[in-house]
Chains A and B, each alone.
Chain A
């Protein structure tokens, strides 16, 4: 008190008792202010959870980019022929395969970060857990998409197919992947709704 000389400024009095009273009041006020400031700060883990949520959106964008393989492939099938088609298809497969590699690493990295927040056991632990589960589904979807790429590469290697009847086995295999992808996408959508609900409740 003496060091700051604060009380002399408030009330220049020599009365120690009164000074002590002021000091107590000031301390209480400071404590109240400090508590209010503390309430305004982000709860523990919120910032990390927000980062995870934002990274998850990027992952979804990456999966969507990979999904773009199907319409791009259809475009090529409709517009190119023979060697030109084969070259363009291989370029598409190579490009999507590279995207898959990047996506896989990002998925695994984010999954680790989610696990860390989940095991930290705070307010956002359950939310991190739900994101981690969603990432598992996204990983499966990415794997199925990459599986479809493998089939298309098989097909591409054999182009031009000698007979029209050679085509259905390939389309059937691609459809199998597409079907599984559809199932996974539905599960992801449901999971995302639940996760978003949980996020809103966390405020």
Chain B
């Protein structure tokens, strides 16, 4: 098979002749998870910057809760970095091993690792979202309230991006499960197209999350929170 993941070939069976190898999908189908994940890290990094400026005047409970939320986001940062690296490794599947079976194993362990990161991130972002939501409902929170709304939207978008990332690795797992039964790369075109679509969607969502995080960050600076 010659997919964007550059992996294996169809299973050769007795009497079935040599496996047919589909046309290379090549660079047009390059997996674009890496830039998407970089944007994700950027989104969180922007918001985490605000953490250093915390400790300003008034609105005690709101400020404390915002600080807690930002501390959660700080925890998310290395996980997002790891996720970015793992996503990028999908591009290299098929390069490290010559055996299809080894490539499938490598791919599946990558899927497990990515799913693990996503699960952890979902918990961390869920906590941050809840904390921002709490501040957004505080009547006396002043500018913190508006900041929490903006930051909450950014986290929401980031969580949506994680969902797309999860869908992407599910598709990858399905593709990997079929590498051995497929007779050619062409047969797996549906999965390759899906990976393309999901990688594009992931990138868009991450960029949007970064934009919202930037807005939240600007608001934070403008209001000298």
Contact = CB atoms under 8 A, between A and B. Distances in A.
Are A and B a genuine interacting pair, yes or no? yes
Interface of A: 97, 100-101, 104-105, 108, 139, 143-144, 146-147, 150-151, 153-154, 173, 176-177
B174 interface: yes
B interface, over-half SS:
helix
A97 B190 contact: yes
Given A97-B190, A176-B13, A176-B16, A144 B181 contact: yes
Given A101-B174, A146-B177, A146-B178, A151 B190 contact: no
A42 B174 CA distance: 38
Given A100-B174, A104-B173, A146 B181 contact: yes
Given A97-B190, A153-B190, A176-B13, A104 B183 contact: no
B177 A104 contact: yes
22 contacts: A97-B190, A101-B170, A101-B171, A101-B174, A104-B173, A104-B174, A143-B177, A143-B180, A146-B177, A146-B178, A147-B178, A147-B181, A147-B182, A150-B178, A150-B183, A150-B187, A151-B183, A153-B187, A154-B186, A173-B183, A176-B13, A176-B16
Interface of B: 13, 16, 170-171, 173-174, 177-178, 180-183, 186-188, 190
Contacts of B16: 176
A143 B190 contact: no
Contacts of A147: 178, 181-182
Nearest to A177: B181
Nearest to A139: B177
Contacts of A176: 13, 16
Given A101-B174, A104-B174, A150-B187, 10 more contacts: A101-B170, A101-B171, A104-B173, A104-B177, A139-B177, A146-B177, A146-B178, A146-B181, A154-B186, A177-B181
Nearest to A93: B190
Nearest to B178: A146
Contacts of B180: 143
Contacts of A150: 178, 181-183, 187-188
B135 to A, nearest CB: 36
Contacts of B173: 104-105, 108
Contacts of B188: 150
A144 B174 CA distance: 13
A121 B140 CA distance: 57
B187 to A, nearest CB: 4
A100 B183 CA distance: 18
A173 B20 CA distance: 13
Nearest to B16: A176
Nearest to B189: A153
B193 to A, nearest CB: 12
